[in-house]
Structure 1
Amino acid sequence: MSTGKGLLLVFSEVGNQLSEGEYNDWYDNEHIPLRTALPGFLSATRLIQTDGLKPTWGAIYDLSSVDFLQEDAYTALAKTRSEREASVLSRIGILDRRIYTLNEEALEIVSPEFKGNKEGMIVLVVSMDVEPDFEDELNRWYNEEHSEMLSKVPGWLRSRRYYLVDAAASGTLKQQVQEYKKPAKFMAVHEYKDIGPGLFDAEEFKAAISTPWRKKVWENNKNTERRAFKVYKTF
């Protein structure tokens, strides 16, 4: 499975002006199909939280590159959107849209067992910021220690790393939108088989987050975000 050079990550909360049924029908039968029909969209995966946090919903789109989002084929979607899509977008509680480009300095590590996202898989999204003079150290830690240790966790399938390009939030839940904090620059996406609640209790996982080097990285971490999702649907 090749990884595109761009990634679009969208978190969303239905809110109180839209039913979940209407939201899911729009997402599955209109919003995503219009995008996956475009050559720049390599895959689409819908997610639902497993960590008890909000936003509840997520979606990950693998892109050929972030530049595709500036091409006419994609920008035309906003200009020609249907009445239904315009209505849903005007009533949705939170739409948190983040654009990333692949960190090409990162090691590409994929289990031979990974055959694409499947319903029920676990997706862990971890973001952080560090000072500019610590960025090389962060990349070295991932490349020389952390990624390899994570690959030994039972159920691990793939890890990818990205840099934030742009982000914005909108929606009817105005207080949450007004309090929106720009996401961190560095993001890693880790995918696992669903091995139950013991994933984070596995000795291999505990070892990966307990080394002296990891402690040093976390002491320099300025803006952590860690979300756990389950794959809800693939397209």
Structure 2
Amino acid sequence: MPLGFLLVTAEPGDKVTLDEFQDWYNNEHVPLRLNHLPSFLTGARFRAADSGIPSWLAVYDIDDTATFAHESYTRLRANRSPREANLVQRLAILDRRTYEIVADSGESTLTSSYKPENPTKHVVTQWLNLPADSESDKAFEAWSAAVFRALSGVEGWVRTRTYKCIDNLKTGLRIPAGPEAQIVPKYLAVHEVLSLSVADSPGFVAGANPGSQATIEETRTWDLYRAYPCIAQGNLAV
């Protein structure tokens, strides 16, 4: 199976303080995954660099999409601690989306992406759709290749990876009831850049959406909060 990618956006809201939110994420939620599961290859968190909501982003590279159905991972949500279960019920937004990788422009010498040694400091997330037909996946592969070619000459661009959504779930006090609230774009592009000024440059803006076939549903910009060590990287402190 292909490499997996887990993306979670969250908004603490009025019922959870930022200190409580950060303590839970840093000292319980992330360690339960990165400190114990070798299937989690990287993990990093970002804060919003724009005015959009949700204001927090977590991303994880996963060794195989089969991990999302494996008991070692699913039990973490099925058997939450009382503290986590209580906090999750009070969050304004918790938006979890799992993906399989479609294309990768390749590792860069400029950063280590989401590893704690020289991590990427800024990312741009781009959610998009293509016309709903049987060839949309092939069209997205072609779109991805065109993006890589267009961005290869943009100074300050680090790396782009594209993904197809395979599952998602939105919960939280601000999420409306009903199936419409659970609809998300099918495709995702994550662009790593050295600075957010790169994301505003004409070359990047044009290169990040070549042609007119893809419909960009949402674009967000993020600043690195923390890149975490993990058991898969062998860099956890004793």
Structure with more of its chain in helix, by fraction: 1
1:233 is aligned to 2:231: no
1:215 is aligned to 2:211: yes
Alpha-carbon distance between aligned partners in 2 of 1:169 and 1:69, rounded to the nearest angstrom: 16
TM-score, reference length from structure 1: 0.84
Q: Is the 8 A contact 1:171 1:177 kept in 2?
A: no
How is 1:45-60 mapped onto 2 (pairs within 5 angstroms)? 45-60=44-59
Alpha-carbon distance between aligned partners in 1 of 2:96 and 2:202, rounded to the nearest angstrom: 34
3-state SS of paired residue (1:153): coil
1:11 corresponds to which residue? Answer: 9
How is 1:134-145 mapped onto 2 (pairs within 5 angstroms)? 134-143=136-145, 145=146
- Is the alpha carbon distance of 1:141 and 1:116 closer, same or farther for their aligned partners in structure 2, counting shifts above 3 Å? closer
Deviations 1:102-149 (A, max 9, x none): 11xx35333222323356711111121112245433422331x32122
Post-superposition offset of 1:179? 6.2
- Is the alpha carbon distance of 1:120 and 1:43 closer, same or farther for their aligned partners in structure 2, counting shifts above 3 Å? closer
- Is the alpha carbon distance of 1:43 and 1:205 closer, same or farther for their aligned partners in structure 2, counting shifts above 3 Å? same
Alpha-carbon distance between aligned partners in 1 of 2:177 and 2:46, rounded to the nearest angstrom: 21
Alpha-carbon distance between aligned partners in 2 of 1:99 and 1:126, rounded to the nearest angstrom: 15
2:111 corresponds to which residue? Answer: 114
Alpha-carbon distance between aligned partners in 1 of 2:75 and 2:97, rounded to the nearest angstrom: 19
Alpha-carbon distance between aligned partners in 2 of 1:72 and 1:123, rounded to the nearest angstrom: 31
2:89 corresponds to which residue? Answer: 90
Deviations 1:76-122 (A, max 9, x none): 2224322211111111111000000111xx35333222323356711
Unaligned runs of 5+ residues in structure 2 are 229-238
Of stretches 64-73 and 22-31 in structure 1, the one that deviates more from structure 2 is 64-73
Letter in 2 for 1:216: S
2:39 corresponds to which residue? Answer: 40
Q: Is the 8 A contact 2:175 2:181 kept in 1?
A: no
1:202 is aligned to 2:204: no
Alpha-carbon distance between aligned partners in 1 of 2:139 and 2:28, rounded to the nearest angstrom: 43
Alpha-carbon distance between aligned partners in 1 of 2:6 and 2:206, rounded to the nearest angstrom: 31
Alpha-carbon distance between aligned partners in 1 of 2:177 and 2:43, rounded to the nearest angstrom: 26
Alpha-carbon distance between aligned partners in 1 of 2:149 and 2:190, rounded to the nearest angstrom: 14
Alpha-carbon distance between aligned partners in 1 of 2:40 and 2:160, rounded to the nearest angstrom: 20
Post-superposition offset of 1:68? 0.8
TM-score, reference length from structure 2: 0.83
Of stretches 126-135 and 89-98 in structure 1, the one that deviates more from structure 2 is 126-135
Deviations 1:27-76 (A, max 9, x none): 00100000112121111111111121000011001111121121121122
> What percent identity do the matched residue pairs reach?
31
Alpha-carbon distance between aligned partners in 2 of 1:50 and 1:100, rounded to the nearest angstrom: 23
Alpha-carbon distance between aligned partners in 2 of 1:94 and 1:179, rounded to the nearest angstrom: 16
Alpha-carbon distance between aligned partners in 1 of 2:150 and 2:104, rounded to the nearest angstrom: 13
Alpha-carbon distance between aligned partners in 1 of 2:112 and 2:226, rounded to the nearest angstrom: 15
